[in-house]
Amino acid sequence: MNFSKQLLIAMLVCICTFSNLNVAYAQTYTLDSTTLVADTVITGLNVPWELKWGPDNFLWMTERDGIVSRINPQTGLRTIMLNASQNNGGPVYAISESGLLSFVFHPAFPDSNYLYMVYTYLDAANIKERMVRYEYVADSLINPVTLIENIAGANFHNGSRLAIGPDNKIYMTTGDGLTQPDAQSITSVNGKTLRLNLDGSIPADNPIPGSPIWSWGHRNAQGLEFGPTGILYSSEHGPNNDDEINIIKPAGNYGWPTVMGICNLPQELNFCTDSNVVESIYQWTPTIAPGDLIYYNSPAIPEWQGTLLLSVMKNKRLLRLTLNSTGDSITSETSYFINQWGRLRDICAGPDGTIYLATNGATSGNIDPNTHSIIRLRNPFYLQPLIVDAGPDQSVCVGGSTQLTPTITGGAAPLTYSWIPSADLSCSVCDSTLVVSLNTPTEFILTVTDIQGASLSDTVLVNVVAQPGTPSYVLTVLDSLGADVPVEIEINAPAADSVSVLLYGTGVGPVSFNSNVQQFTINDTLPVTFIDGNDISATILYYSICIYSYSSCGSDSICENGEILLYSWTGTNNVQQPNFTLYPNPFTGIINLSGVQKADGIVVMNVLGTMVSKIISPTISGNDYSLDLSHLQPGIYFIGVERNGVLGVQKLIKE
């Protein structure tokens, strides 16, 4: 190692030691050719069981006594999101190896803000296990929904590890609960790998219809990980021999309690043949107590890239398991950090390739609670590739403004930003924003350059949205005449986004119509019923109509009320608009008709269709005549004039 590299490592050790109050020490380790710096992110924990890197760039963690936390990996600051321990009034019952165990994020988190977790609880005096879905809201986990429960538990052999598959199903390991025969029983969910939909229902393509069982014959699997090709790896505890790495397959029988490891003993051979046992791909005898495992695929630590990393408890180390080219066989193992931090319960990797390990004390009995830690392992010389995301395309109202917020990762700081069209903006921090005000659509190009000259660009389009125009409409009565003929109306509002119509009147409705379309035309038949019993019936159909237009920049509308005259003459289908003149209208006593040729009959009726006056073959002088209707009460009436089977109708108003 040259002097400059030694000096840099020394400086990093000092920074790690004094920049974080939770850091107990920092130390360097050399693999084949990679130097790692190890430090402590946080200590004082009580059996951290599961570590996950959150989408918020925090570490998320469960502790077996019932606590779920978020930890800032830079400062070690811890936020408790849930304390479900029995001592705190929660349901988690923790004793020996039972308690709060695994958790996993919904695959669309945080848009779907769900976490799934497994814990043991007391049912009377019996230990049981369940999987529960929580909602994450404002640094709290709330609204638990049980997806599966009443799984037999025990002080030991509860499993349980969760994983979300590429099929968006949730996989869960269960232990045999110290009842070994249950592992072979397909009526028991113990000693199994379970597979559920994300809502807790059972997938239709599970091997056993109506059952969550995916595989069986397991003793106590505490590791579960999908590889890049979809292979599901599992680490499993044996008794005094044959700890295992398995590849989990649907309807696979993994042999426990009859078979341990591979089928190589006389009492195992017949059972393996009869039960189609799937043999483990790797075994340890004597046992090592395997914890969790991950598939590590970051170039940050080249020696580990493309391998399985396994945390080990009994043998107190980290194992690298090298895979063959197809990923279905382990070709070698390499040990690291032997006895360095005691038992290692769990492992996870951050997006920059940093490894986080959860320690578990010196013994399985946890004789020193609240002393466990999270250890960080990182390559200080690894530089993430520069990645530039100018953000999603946006829309802005004419004359309005919007903020463009790029997301930048990797690269050698400090970074500089430039925008085209230029906004005279450059900076050396990764959350710089550009505020723009536009009247026309514009594409912006963001170019980021790091201190070593690496440069990358990305574009974002800002569309301009106009204010909505004032809507208008035309209402047309297509057919309001004829005996018992349904009325058709048409409303044409070409600039509208939404139209609402309410119709009501004698014998009608109310009848309402609604639509949300860009080019709106309604042509519906209204169930208008005319009043029978007279030669002529008529009514008024009242309407309220509102026309709306919308855009992301606002809305506009027009609302109006009106009326439609509806009339018919039973027995006469040849009905048309009248060609005569009424005066005065409104009237008080005498009504005059002008321009009417000899009529066959004249009828006056009220709005309810009741005939109030009828004249058959009236005597007229020329084309004009008068009617004395002074006996009518004030109100609205209709007068119909028939000639040669043709009916003409007009509205009268009596004052």
Indicate if the pLDDT at residue 516 is higher than 90.
no
pLDDT for 245 equals 98
- Mean model confidence pLDDT for the chain: 83
Report which of 475, 567, 478 is spatially closest to residue 525, judged by C-alpha positions: 478
Indicate if the pLDDT at residue 132 is higher than 70.
yes
Over the stretch 70-80, which tens digit does the pLDDT of each residue have? 999 999 999 99
Least confident of 168-182, 257-271, 423-437, 516-530: 516-530
Indicate if the pLDDT at residue 376 is higher than 70.
yes
- How far is the C-alpha of 148 from the C-alpha of 196, rounded, in Å? 9
| Token pair belonging to 192 | 């199994």
Indicate if the pLDDT at residue 650 is higher than 80.
no
% pLDDT > 70, the chain? 79
Q: How does DSSP assign 201-249, residue by residue? A: PPPTTSSSTT--EEEE--S-EEEEEE-TTS-EEEEE--SSS-EEEEE--
pLDDT for 647 equals 64
- How far is the C-alpha of 372 from the C-alpha of 359, rounded, in Å? 5
Comparison of pLDDT for 421 and 642, the residue scoring more = 421
% pLDDT > 90, the chain? 54
pLDDT for 614 equals 73
| Pairing between β-strand 213-216 and β-strand 252-253 as defined by DSSP bridges | parallel
Q: How confident is the model at residue 495 (pLDDT cuts 50, 70, 90)?
A: low
Over the stretch 346-375, which tens digit does the pLDDT of each residue have? 999 999 999 999 999 888 877 788 999 999
Give all domains of the chain, ordered by start, each with its CATH number.
3-378 (2.120.10.30), 387-465 (2.60.40.10), 474-569 (2.60.40), 581-654 (2.60.40.3080)
Indicate if the pLDDT at residue 475 is higher than 80.
no
- How far is the C-alpha of 115 from the C-alpha of 95, rounded, in Å? 23
Comparison of pLDDT for 248 and 1, the residue scoring more = 248
- How far is the C-alpha of 425 from the C-alpha of 464, rounded, in Å? 22
Indicate if the pLDDT at residue 477 is higher than 80.
no
Q: How confident is the model at residue 479 (pLDDT cuts 50, 70, 90)?
A: very low
Report which of 99, 114, 105, 115 is spatially closest to residue 66, judged by C-alpha positions: 99
| Pairing between β-strand 126-137 and β-strand 355-359 as defined by DSSP bridges | unpaired
pLDDT for 469 equals 74
Indicate if the pLDDT at residue 518 is higher than 70.
no
pLDDT for 28 equals 95
Comparison of pLDDT for 561 and 246, the residue scoring more = 246
Query: Tokens 């409409």 map to which residue?
Result: 473
| Token pair belonging to 566 | 């509806």
Indicate if the pLDDT at residue 407 is higher than 70.
yes
pLDDT for 365 equals 77
Indicate if the pLDDT at residue 483 is higher than 50.
no
pLDDT for 176 equals 97
pLDDT for 20 equals 38
- Name the strand (E) or helix (H) holding 489: strand 487-493
- How far is the C-alpha of 485 from the C-alpha of 647, rounded, in Å? 15
- How far is the C-alpha of 116 from the C-alpha of 92, rounded, in Å? 14
Least confident of 197-211, 364-378, 568-582: 568-582
Which residues contact residue 361 at a Cβ distance below 8 angstroms, ignoring those fewer than 6 apart?
Answer: 47, 342, 343, 367, 368, 371, 372
φ, ψ of residue 11 to 5 degrees: the values are -65, -40
Over the stretch 36-90, which tens digit does the pLDDT of each residue have? 999 999 999 999 999 999 999 999 999 999 999 999 999 999 999 999 999 999 9
pTM, entire model: 0.69
